[in-house]
Structure 1
Amino acid sequence: MALVDLHVHSKYSKHPAQWFLQRIGTRESYTEIEDLYQIAKNRGMTFVTLCDHNTIDGALKLVEHSPLDTFVSVEATAYFPKNGCKIHVLVYGLNEQQFHMVDRLRTDIYQLRDYLRQENLAHSVAHATYNVNGRLTFDIIEKLILLFDVFEEINGGRNPKNNLIWGQSLLNLSANDIDRLYDKHRIEPFSDTPWLKGLTGGSDDHAGLFIAQTFTEADAATPAEFIEQIKRKQTIGGGKSSNFKSLAFAIYKIACDFSQSGSGKKQTGPMALVNSLLFENKKPGLRNRLMMEGMKFRAGKEDKDRIMLQFLEGVFSDFVKPGDLSIDEKIERMYENIAAMTDNFFSMIFESLERNFKQGDLSGLVKNASAALPAIFFSMPFFSTVKHLAHDRDIINRLRAEYIEKYQRADSKILWFSDTAKESNNAADAVRSAARAAHLEERAIQFVLSESQVAATPDLPPNVLTLPEIYTYTPDNQSDYALAIPSMLRSLETVYQQNPDVIVISTPGPLGVVGILAAKLLGIPCYGILHDDYAEAIRRKSSDELLFDPVDNVIRWVYSFVTTLYVPSFDMLEVLEKRGYETHTMQLLPTPSSESEDAETAILETPYYVPESDAPLQWAEIFMALFGPKVGVSAALPHIRMTPAPFDRLEDERKVVGIQ
C-alpha cells in the first residue's frame, strides 16, 4: 500500500489564517521544498505532493526536484456565489493549463465542480466542516455532499472528535439521504453512487512539524495510479489529528521562522531558545547561556528575572538531548514549562495585588503586571488554538444528530464549576448533593472544584475534577472562606481534555470565570446558578458599605456572560432587576413536579428562597429537575420562560430539561 500526505504547505503559501500570525505579519509557512520532501520520505511516505493556496509554483519546483515520486497539487479557495462562503478544494495531478482554469473558475464552486468532473481531475474537499470565513451553514454542508464525492476525512489541523464525526457521517450516508438532499437543494450529484464517498487524509502542516503524521493510503505503485485511486474513491485516511498544544507550537514555529527570516541575524531570548530546542534539535548556544547568567545576577532583585530563570533552567533540564525526543514529547515538556512560568507570573501579580491594595500602592501592581507580558505572549497561542479548533462545533453537533445518533445515542457532557463544597451553606449543599445524585444516576456530568476544596471535602464521589490552584486569598474577618485562583493553562488543558458540550457555573469567583472563559473558547452554552445574594451577605457580615458596590458589580459582570442565569426565587429576581442585572436572561430554578401536573403551581409553591432560614434547600431535587428524570416543566411564568432547550435529551422515559 502506498502512503501520501495529501495536504501539506510550503513557503509558497503566503497568507495565514490564524489571528495571532496575522497580527505579527508572518507568512503562512516557511517550509522549504527540499526539507518538505525529505521529511515526508523519512517518515515513510511513498509519494510526495504539496498543496499551497491558489498557486502551484512550489509544487512545480517539487516535481522538478524529484520527478519520479511526486505530483502537482493545489488547495483552491472556492466560493459559493450566493453568500461568499469559502471552501477549500484540494486538486491533484493537474497541469499548468488546468491550474489556470481552476484558478479562474474557483470564484464559483458550481463551475469549479463541473470543470473538475469534465476534466476528470482527482480532488478532495479539505476540512469541509471548518468555517473558514464565518459563512458556512449546514445547508452548505449538504450541498457539498451533493457536489463532490471525495472528502478529507482526517485533517491533521482539526481535533479528533470533529474528524471522527465528519468521517462517520460520510460513511453513514445512504441513497435515501442523497435523494432527500437532492429534493431539498436540486443539485445534481457528482456521480451515480454519490452516497459512497472517497476519503483522504492530510496533515495540513504549515510549520514543517507534522508532515506525514496524517496521510492517505491506497493500493498504487506510481503517482499516476495513486491519483487514479482517488478518482475511484478507493482511498482511506489515516494518522493523527491535532490538539490545541500541537497547533499552538506550530504557530510558535512559524513566528520563530518569521523572526529569523527578517533580519537574517541569530536571534536570542526565550522565543529563540524555544525554537532551537523544539524545532532545530540544538542545545542552547553561548548567547542564550549568557542571557541566563545575566538573569541569575538579577534574580535576587527582580521577581520577573527569578521566574524567567526558573523557566530556562527547567527547559535546559528537560532538553539535555533534544534530538532524542519526538516532537510530541518536546511539546508536552515545553507546555509544562510554559504553564509553570505562567503560573509563577500570575501568582506574582496576585501577591502584588493583595500587598499593594493593603498598602494603597498601585504602582507596584502596574509594574508587576507589565513584567508578566512574556507569560501572556507565551500563553496567548494556546487560547487562540482552543477557540480555533472549536470553530465548527455547531456543524459537528448537527452532523452527529442527523447522521450518527440515529444509529447510536450520545449523551451531552456537562461540566459544573463551583468554588464551594466544604462549607455549610446552600451553595455547598447544592454541589455535594448534585455531585452524588449525578454519580448515582450515571449522568455525563462532572463537577469542577479547586484542589483545596477537594482536599477539605471528604467522601466526594468520583465524578469530581480537580483544578490546580496557584494562589489563595482569605478575606479579612472571613477565615472560613478562601478564594482559590486556578492555574490558567493547566485548567485549560483539563477542560479541553473533557470536551464538554455544556458548562454550568454556580460561582461568580475565579472558578466561575474559568468556566465562562472555557465556554467562550469552546463555543458551548454556559449556564449560571446564583445561589444567594452574595453582595448583600458580605455587607451584612463585614458591616462595610464600601464593599457592596464593587462586589455586586463584579458578580453582575461575571454573570452577564452566561446564556441563562438561574435564580432561586422571584424575590431575588426583582432585587437583581433593581440593581441593573439583565433579567431577560434569568429564569427560576425548576423543581420536580412531583404528583402535580401543574408545573406553574408546583414551582410557585416550592419554598426555594427563605433568607432567614438555616434549613438546607433540597438541592439534589433541584439538580435532578435541571438534569435528571422527567419533570414536565414547560409553563410560561412571569419574567421567565421555561422550555425544553439546550439540555434536551430523551432517554427511555427520562427527559433533561434546560433553559432556552
Structure 2
Amino acid sequence: MSFVTISDHDSIDGALEIAHLPGAFLSSEVTVEFPEDGCQLHCLVTGITEAQHREIQRLRKDVYDLRDYFREHDILHSIAHPFYTVNGGLTLSHLEKLLVLFNRFEALNGIHDRRGNELVRRICSSLTPEVVADFAERHRLEPWGATPWVKTFTGGSDDHGGFYIGTTYTQTPSAATVEEYLAHLRAGRCEPGGETGSTLRLVQSLYSISYEYYRLQFPALLGNRKDPFAELLRRLARATTADDGTERVPVTLRERISRVFPFSAGRRRTDESATSPAGRPGQPAADRHTFGAASRASRESLSSLVRGFVLHARRGRLSESLGALAHLAPLAVSLAPYLVSIHAQHKDSGLMETAALRFLGTRPEGNRPGKRAWFTERLTDVPSVARILHALPVREDGRELVAVTCGAERPPAGLEVRNFEPLLELPVPGYEPWKLTVPPLLEILDHCEKERYTEIVISTPGPLGLLGLAAGRLLGIPVTGICHAGFPLSVRQLCDSPALEDLAWGYLRWLFGAMDGVVPASRHDGALLAERGVEPARRTVLPGLLIPLPGAEGAEERGVGAPSPGGWAGGWERVGVRAPGGGLRPRSEDALESLLCRLS
C-alpha cells in the first residue's frame, strides 16, 4: 500500500498524528444531515486542509450547502455505506436525492455486510440519463456534472478497532505522490479493492475496542493474568492467526498502521514482504478463531452458571447460589458484541430489499427466496411430516425447508436437518422422559445468517423457540409460530398448579404476540388462543388444515385416525401423538403439514 489516511468521525486528529509522514494525507468521515428532516448520513472527505475541515464542520448540517461547497472547491468526497441508517431516518426518497447530488459512492466497506456493498454498485451501475433526470425533477435538485448517471466507486476499511487496517482500500493507476493519487480519484480512475465486511469482522472490531478501553482505563485489570475476565477479554481481542498463537494486539496507532504501511526513520519501505496482506490479522481464519473462542467461552460460562446455581440451591444455600451469577460477566463479554454486530448488519435489510425492488425490480443478491427454517425440538415425533416432506416436489423458485433442532436423535429420512449440540440438557423434575435443552446461541445465529433464510417457522415454546424468535428479530426475518394450546394444560397437569398454568398462558401470549403470525394447531387451539387473549389479527387457520397422509396402513400405531367415511376428500380425523405418559394429545405438527402444502 502506497498511501494512507485516517478518517475519524467529524475529526482530523488521527490524520494529523501521521500527517508529517510521507504518503499520508488528511481525511475525515463527516456526519451530514438533510435539513428538512434531520436524516443523517456519512460522507468521506479526502485530501482536505485544516481550514477546509473547519468549514465542512460548519456546513455539515445542510447536505445541499455542503454539496455546493464541495463542488466550488473541488473537494474529493464519497458517500460512505449508503444503505446504513445512521439515525434511523433514511428512506428511498433520501437515496434518490443522493443519486442526484453526488457521483462518488463507497461500494466496498470493510465492516458492513456484502449485500449492501454489492447493492450500491448494482443500483449505481443501472442508472440512465432518464432515471437521474426524473429524480432531479421530482426533488427539484441540480445534478452534478455533465454525466450524473455515471458513478465512481471507492473502498475503505471502516476499521474502528485497529484490526483491519489496509484490508479494504481504493486503488488507482500508479502514482508517485499523494497529489497524483488524489488526481486519479478526481478523474474517476479508481476502483475499490480488498475484503468485504461481515458480522464476524465487526465482532472482532468490538472486542478490540473493548480491549483497548480496558487497557487504557484499567491497566491493572488486564495486567492480571490470573483474572479469568481479563484473560477472556485478552484472548478474544487477540489475533491468534499464527500457528503458535503468539500474535499480539498492536498497542499504538503508529504500530497498527505500520503493519500495512511500514515507516522506517521517517521513510517508507518498499519491500513487498512488509506490505503483503498474508499473515495480517483480519483474515477469515482469525475471524473464525475469535468466533470459536467466544462460542467456547459462552458454553463454559453458561454451564458454570447453571451448575453452580443448582448445586447450591439443592443444598438449601440460596444466598450462595446467587454467587453463580458472577459467571454472567464472561457470558456477556462473549455474547454481547456478537448480538450487537448481527443486529447492526441486518437492521437495514428492509431498506435494502425495498431499494432493490424500487431501483432494480428484484431482491438483493444473497437472499434465498423460499428457504425457511423450522425450529423444532422433537423430530422423532413427526414421522408423518417427514413422509410429506419427502414427497413434496421442489419448486422452481427453490422453496426449501430445513429443520433446525438441538440434540435430536435419528432425524427422519427425507428431511434436511441441522442438528446442534446443546449447551445443557436438564431433565424435567418428576417427568424424566422430557428434558429442557439449552441451545447454542452463537452457533445457531451464525447458521441462520449464513443460510439467509426468508422465514422462520417455530413449533416449540421452549428455549429453541425463543432462540428462533431472537434470530428472526436480529436478522430481520419474518417469524411464524405454530401454537399448540396444550402446553399450559400440560404445565397444570405436571405441577398441579392453576397459577403456573396462567403463567404459561401469559408466556405464550408474549411469545406468539412477538411473532409476525400465529398458526393454531387446530380450530380448537384457535378458540383457546382467542379466549386467552392472543391477538385475532395474528391468528391464522390455514386452509386444508386436515390433509391425508400417504398410505393408511399402520395409522393406529402412528396415533393417526383412519380416513373419514367420505374418503380422502373428507379429510382425516385429528392427528395426535402419544405422550411419554401414555394417551393421545393434540399436536402442532399437523399445522406444519398444512403450512408445507401452502409452501409447495
Q: Does TM, scored on the shorter chain, surpass 0.5? A: yes
- Structure 2 unaligned residues grouped into runs of 5+: 249-278, 548-569, 577-583
Shift of 1:403: 3.6
Q: 2:327 matched to 1:371?
A: yes
In the alignment, residue 322 of structure 1 is paired with which amino acid?
Answer: E
- Residues 125 and 320 (structure 1), Cα distance of their counterparts in 2 relative to 1, 3 Å cut: closer
The sequence identity of aligned pairs, in percent, is 26
For 1:534, the equivalent position in structure 2 comes to 487
- Residues 374 and 271 (structure 1), Cα distance of their counterparts in 2 relative to 1, 3 Å cut: closer
For 1:121, the equivalent position in structure 2 comes to 75
- Residues 449 and 478 (structure 1), Cα distance of their counterparts in 2 relative to 1, 3 Å cut: farther
Q: 2:582 matched to 1:582?
A: no
Contact 2:377 2:406 in 1 (8 A): no
Alignment of 1:277-316 (within 5 A): none
Alignment of 1:38-117 (within 5 A): 45-66=1-22, 69-117=23-71
**Which whole-Å CA distance do the structure 1 matches of 2:545 and 2:130 have between them?**
42
Contact 1:434 1:623 in 2 (8 A): no
* Partner secondary structure for residue 389 of structure 1: helix
- Residues 590 and 140 (structure 1), Cα distance of their counterparts in 2 relative to 1, 3 Å cut: farther
For 2:598, the equivalent position in structure 1 comes to 626
**Which whole-Å CA distance do the structure 2 matches of 1:407 and 1:471 have between them?**
39
The partner residue of 1:498 within 430, 451, 460 is 451
- Residues 101 and 535 (structure 1), Cα distance of their counterparts in 2 relative to 1, 3 Å cut: same
The Cα offsets for residues 429-470 of structure 1, whole Å up to 9 and x where unpaired, read as 44x3564366744744342333422x3223143x32222211
**Which whole-Å CA distance do the structure 2 matches of 1:438 and 1:403 have between them?**
35
User: Which is worse superposed, 228-237 or 122-131?
Assistant: 228-237
Q: 2:194 matched to 1:239?
A: yes
Shift of 1:512: 0.8
For 1:400, the equivalent position in structure 2 comes to 356
The Cα offsets for residues 343-370 of structure 1, whole Å up to 9 and x where unpaired, read as 1222344446666777776545533233
- Residues 271 and 214 (structure 1), Cα distance of their counterparts in 2 relative to 1, 3 Å cut: farther
* Partner secondary structure for residue 469 of structure 1: coil
- State the number of aligned residues: 533
* Partner secondary structure for residue 122 of structure 2: helix
Contact 1:149 1:190 in 2 (8 A): yes
For 1:299, the equivalent position in structure 2 comes to none
- Structure 1 unaligned residues grouped into runs of 5+: 1-44, 282-314, 595-604, 629-660
Contact 1:245 1:335 in 2 (8 A): yes
Aligned-residue CA RMSD (Å): 3.4
**Which whole-Å CA distance do the structure 2 matches of 1:122 and 1:316 have between them?**
37
Alignment of 1:240-279 (within 5 A): 240-262=195-217, 267-268=223-224, 269-270=227-228, 272-273=230-231
Q: 2:380 matched to 1:422?
A: yes
In the alignment, residue 108 of structure 2 is paired with which amino acid?
Answer: I
For 2:170, the equivalent position in structure 1 comes to 216
**Which whole-Å CA distance do the structure 1 matches of 2:423 and 2:466 have between them?**
15
- Residues 614 and 487 (structure 1), Cα distance of their counterparts in 2 relative to 1, 3 Å cut: closer
Contact 2:109 2:196 in 1 (8 A): yes
**Which whole-Å CA distance do the structure 2 matches of 1:89 and 1:408 have between them?**
23
TM-score (norm 2): 0.79
Q: 2:374 matched to 1:449?
A: no
* Partner secondary structure for residue 20 of structure 2: helix
**Which whole-Å CA distance do the structure 1 matches of 2:80 and 2:319 have between them?**
51
Q: 2:342 matched to 1:389?
A: no
In the alignment, residue 80 of structure 2 is paired with which amino acid?
Answer: A
The Cα offsets for residues 143-181 of structure 1, whole Å up to 9 and x where unpaired, read as 111110000001112011221222222222223322332
Shift of 1:575: 1.6
For 1:555, the equivalent position in structure 2 comes to 508
Q: 2:441 matched to 1:488?
A: yes
**Which whole-Å CA distance do the structure 1 matches of 2:468 and 2:173 have between them?**
48
Shift of 1:371: 3.0
**Which whole-Å CA distance do the structure 2 matches of 1:577 and 1:614 have between them?**
18
* Partner secondary structure for residue 19 of structure 2: helix
Q: 2:156 matched to 1:190?
A: no
**Which whole-Å CA distance do the structure 2 matches of 1:218 and 1:448 have between them?**
48
In the alignment, residue 373 of structure 2 is paired with which amino acid?
Answer: L
- Residues 445 and 347 (structure 1), Cα distance of their counterparts in 2 relative to 1, 3 Å cut: farther
TM-score (norm 1): 0.73
In the alignment, residue 402 of structure 1 is paired with which amino acid?
Answer: R
- Residues 565 and 167 (structure 1), Cα distance of their counterparts in 2 relative to 1, 3 Å cut: same
* Partner secondary structure for residue 184 of structure 1: helix
The Cα offsets for residues 20-56 of structure 1, whole Å up to 9 and x where unpaired, read as xxxxxxxxxxxxxxxxxxxxxxxxx111112122222
Shift of 1:402: 3.0
For 1:288, the equivalent position in structure 2 comes to none
For 1:29, the equivalent position in structure 2 comes to none
In the alignment, residue 382 of structure 1 is paired with which amino acid?
Answer: Y
**Which whole-Å CA distance do the structure 2 matches of 1:264 and 1:392 have between them?**
37
In the alignment, residue 16 of structure 2 is paired with which amino acid?
Answer: L
- Residues 534 and 82 (structure 1), Cα distance of their counterparts in 2 relative to 1, 3 Å cut: same
* Partner secondary structure for residue 414 of structure 1: strand
Contact 1:437 1:620 in 2 (8 A): no
Shift of 1:262: 2.9
The Cα offsets for residues 181-236 of structure 1, whole Å up to 9 and x where unpaired, read as 23432222222222211000000111211011001111141322322232222321
For 2:134, the equivalent position in structure 1 comes to 180
For 2:262, the equivalent position in structure 1 comes to none
Shift of 1:132: 0.6
**Which whole-Å CA distance do the structure 1 matches of 2:200 and 2:334 have between them?**
12
For 2:567, the equivalent position in structure 1 comes to none
In the alignment, residue 418 of structure 1 is paired with which amino acid?
Answer: T
For 2:289, the equivalent position in structure 1 comes to 333
**Which whole-Å CA distance do the structure 2 matches of 1:271 and 1:357 have between them?**
25
Q: 2:258 matched to 1:322?
A: no
The partner residue of 2:461 within 497, 504, 508 is 508
* Partner secondary structure for residue 473 of structure 1: strand
In the alignment, residue 535 of structure 1 is paired with which amino acid?
Answer: P
* Partner secondary structure for residue 577 of structure 1: helix
In the alignment, residue 495 of structure 1 is paired with which amino acid?
Answer: C
**Which whole-Å CA distance do the structure 1 matches of 2:437 and 2:465 have between them?**
11
* Partner secondary structure for residue 540 of structure 2: strand
Contact 1:477 1:542 in 2 (8 A): no
**Which whole-Å CA distance do the structure 2 matches of 1:50 and 1:346 have between them?**
40
Contact 1:527 1:563 in 2 (8 A): yes
* Partner secondary structure for residue 127 of structure 1: coil
The partner residue of 2:474 within 513, 517, 521 is 521
**Which whole-Å CA distance do the structure 2 matches of 1:532 and 1:433 have between them?**
25
- Residues 274 and 593 (structure 1), Cα distance of their counterparts in 2 relative to 1, 3 Å cut: closer
* Partner secondary structure for residue 2 of structure 2: coil
In the alignment, residue 487 of structure 2 is paired with which amino acid?
Answer: Y
* Partner secondary structure for residue 474 of structure 1: strand
The Cα offsets for residues 273-321 of structure 1, whole Å up to 9 and x where unpaired, read as 456566677xxxxxxxxxxxxxxxxxxxxxxxxxxxxxxxxx9998543
**Which whole-Å CA distance do the structure 1 matches of 2:573 and 2:143 have between them?**
58
Alignment of 1:7-22 (within 5 A): none
- Residues 252 and 105 (structure 1), Cα distance of their counterparts in 2 relative to 1, 3 Å cut: same
- Residues 155 and 133 (structure 1), Cα distance of their counterparts in 2 relative to 1, 3 Å cut: same
Shift of 1:502: 2.5
